[in-house]
Each structure stands twice: as C-alpha cells, then as structure tokens.
C-alpha cells in the first residue's frame, strides 16, 4: 500500500463512505449490484470532488494561495464543492462557469448547483457556450495577481495527478470494505468525465496489486477519446506516486455509447436510470454524470454483458443537487 503521509492533505470528507448492496435494483435487472456511496462524502452535500479537493487544497495552502479559481459548466458539481471548501478554509473563490448548449433552461441559471455556489459566497464568472474557459481563467489569474492576490488554479473537475490521489485513497477504502464485508467485486462501473476519478481509482488498485476491472461510462466523449484522456492521467498519477507509468497499459476501459448529444444533455436512458434508482433503492442520481453511468450499467445488465454470477459495484460520484436545475425534464 502507498504511504499517504508523504502526500499533503487537508481532511474534508466524511469517511469511509458506505458500500451497500442494491437488492431491489439487482432483482429488477438480474445482476448482483452494490453501490459505493461517494455522494456521502459530506462537503456541500457530498460528491467525488471532495476527495480530490483534500489534496488540491493542501497544494494551494502550501503554495501560499489566498484564492481558488476553477472551471466548469454552469451546473458543475466540482465548482459547488470547490466553493464550499474555499468557504470552509477561508479562501476566496472565483468560478469560471460555461453555459452548455442543449440543456434545459427553465431552472438552469438559478437553481441547483449555481444557487449553492452563491450561498457559499463564490464569485461567478458566467461565460457563453463556446468561449475558451481556460483562457478566461488564465486572464483572471493574471488580473488577480496584478491586484496583489495569490490565486491557485484548480483544473476542470480537479482532475490532475494531485487531485487523483483522492481516488487512490478511495481504492484502498473499497478494498478494505470488501474484505471486511466478505464480498468479492468482479467489476467496478462509474461515470467518467474529466478522468480523475477513474484514473485515481485505477492507480490505487494497481498500487495495491488488485486486478478488478474499472469501466468508465463516458459522459461527454466517444470511447477512444475518453480512454486516451484516462490513460494519460493514469500514467501521470502513477509517476507522481513513484510507480512505473507502464503499469497503466491494458487497464483503461471506457464506453462512449451512452452520453447522447453531449455533456449535460439528458437522454431517455439517463432519465430512466435516475427514476429507476430512486424508485427501486431510494438513491438519488444526477442527470449529468451518475444518471448516464447508471444507464450504461442498466443496459449492460439487460444485454448480458454483466451476468448474474458477477458482483458489480457502482461508484456513486454524487451530483443530486443538480436535479433541481433539470426539473422540466424530470417532472
């Protein structure tokens, strides 16, 4: 196991998060399903970004920063958790949030995550769809520095080799829980976007010598593009941990068949997955990430890609706060 004491961390998350069976959904789909509840990490309603922020905030603190800047869509879960973490530890927070074409607009601009961003006191820079948000953030950094501030830029989704350490830690947590509960896991499934969660989880499994396959259901890219993104970050994360990046070879599996028209745009299968999880298990998914991830899992159960003999673990990365921005397509 990796010695985590060598990596600076600011403890934020509630953990370990539960790992539970999903008996009613299992019965409905003919698969043996479990869920890792990283919607229960605690910060601002929970979600996977909390684990990443523990390492990213430590890096910001050690750099002497007084302001956090990050980038995302207007309903970004990552932005919400970054704003909350900034409030908790006394950083100013600047959010560069891009509009997303094709999303339902009735509640999109004023409810869900963006309402919470404002409650946490973040300054929101709303940019039009198609504007280069990274370039905008770089210009904002320069302006803040000129004003005497010390900003720290957190990448989209908190997904770099520092943020990915949060899911290296989560991999160890999962491995400990399945031993404690006396179960085996044959497959892990998660929604895969900016790649840090999947890359970190794989890095943790590799470091622990565990060969559990991890399937990333892409939420915004085709299979080839998503696999390349995860592969690159996995190699960087392994190298950051002092491991051979070649250990990443053959470990990255993604499926780009479920994201529909693009990021943040729902599909009928997404809506079905959100409603089915709520009605069968009382579990709230979101329309952007976990709904698409669960839609992929449901389809693979129905088509026989996953069998009744396999134990499949769904990693719930949070995001239910975004449901309120999508009321018109859910009601």
Q: Which residues touch 293 (CB under 8 Å, ≥6 apart)?
A: 189, 190, 191, 192, 217, 219, 285, 314, 317
Q: How confident is the model at residue 278 (pLDDT cuts 50, 70, 90)?
A: very high
Spatial CA neighbour of 316 closest among 36, 22, 46: 36
* pLDDT score at 106: 94
Place of tokens 């941990």: 241
Above 60 in pLDDT, residue 104? yes
* pLDDT score at 225: 98
Same domain, 258 and 313: yes
Above 80 in pLDDT, residue 4? no
State which residues form the domain around 216: 4-48+161-330
Place of tokens 């085709």: 222
Give catalytic residue positions: 76
Place of tokens 């593009």: 225
Q: What is the pLDDT of residues 211-242, one digit of tens each?
A: 999 999 999 999 999 999 999 999 999 999 99
* pLDDT score at 152: 98
* pTM (predicted TM-score): 0.97
Q: How confident is the model at residue 116 (pLDDT cuts 50, 70, 90)?
A: very high
Domain-ending residue, one of 98, 130, 158: 158
* pLDDT score at 130: 83
State residue 48 phi and psi, 5-degree precision. Answer: -65, -25
The answer to whether the beta carbons of residues 313 and 32 sit under 8 Å apart is: no
Average pLDDT for residues 85-97, to the nearest whole number?
98
The answer to whether the beta carbons of residues 108 and 75 sit under 8 Å apart is: yes
Above 70 in pLDDT, residue 2? no
Average pLDDT for residues 104-120, to the nearest whole number?
97
* Structural domain total, the chain: 2
CATH code of the domain containing 201: 3.40.50.1100
Same domain, 43 and 58: no
* pLDDT score at 136: 97
Above 70 in pLDDT, residue 289? yes
Same domain, 172 and 96: no
Q: What is the pLDDT of residues 70-82, one digit of tens each?
A: 999 999 999 999 9
* pLDDT score at 331: 86
Same domain, 41 and 65: no
Same domain, 306 and 190: yes
Domain-ending residue, one of 158, 181, 204: 158
Domain-ending residue, one of 158, 180, 208: 158
Above 70 in pLDDT, residue 144? yes
* pLDDT score at 6: 85
Same domain, 150 and 195: no
* pLDDT score at 1: 55
Above 80 in pLDDT, residue 203? yes
Q: How many other C-beta atoms lie within 10 A of the C-beta of residue 304?
A: 10
Q: How confident is the model at residue 5 (pLDDT cuts 50, 70, 90)?
A: confident
Q: What is the pLDDT of residues 300-319, one digit of tens each?
A: 999 999 999 999 999 999 99
């Amino acid at each position: 196991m990796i010695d985590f004491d060598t990596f600076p961390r600011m403890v934020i998350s509630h953990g370990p998060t539960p790992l539970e069976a999903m008996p009613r959904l299992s019965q409905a789909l003919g698969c043996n399903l479990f869920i890792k509840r990283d919607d229960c990490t605690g910060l601002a309603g929970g979600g996977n970004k909390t684990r990443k922020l523990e390492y990213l905030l430590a890096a910001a603190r050690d750099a002497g920063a007084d302001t956090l800047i990050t980038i995302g869509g207007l309903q970004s879960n990552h932005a919400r958790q970054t704003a909350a973490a900034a409030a908790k530890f006394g950083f100013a927070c600047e959010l560069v949030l891009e509009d997303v074409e094709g999303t339902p607009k009735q509640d999109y601009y004023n409810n869900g995550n963006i309402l919470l961003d404002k409650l946490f006191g973040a300054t929101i820079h709303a940019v039009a769809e198609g504007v280069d948000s990274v370039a905008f953030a770089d210009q904002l950094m320069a302006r803040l520095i000129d004003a005497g501030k010390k900003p720290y830029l957190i990448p989209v989704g908190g997904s770099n080799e520092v943020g990915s350490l949060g899911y290296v830690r989560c991999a160890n947590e999962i491995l400990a829980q399945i031993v404690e509960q006396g179960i085996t896991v044959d497959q892990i499934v998660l929604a895969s976007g900016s790649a840090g969660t999947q890359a970190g989880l794989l890095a943790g499994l590799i470091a622990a010598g565990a060969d559990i396959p991890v399937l990333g259901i892409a939420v915004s890219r085709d299979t080839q593009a998503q696999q390349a993104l995860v592969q690159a970050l996995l190699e960087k994360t392994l190298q950051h941990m002092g491991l051979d990046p070649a250990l990443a070879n053959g470990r990255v599996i993604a499926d780009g068949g479920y994201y529909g028209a693009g990021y943040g745009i729902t599909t009928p299968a997404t809506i079905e997955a959100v409603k089915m999880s709520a009605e069968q298990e009382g579990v709230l998914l979101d329309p952007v990430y976990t709904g698409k991830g669960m839609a992929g899992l449901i389809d693979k159960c129905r088509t026989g890609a996953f069998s009744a003999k396999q134990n499949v673990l769904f990693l719930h990365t949070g995001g239910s706060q975004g449901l309120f921005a999508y009321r018109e397509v859910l009601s």
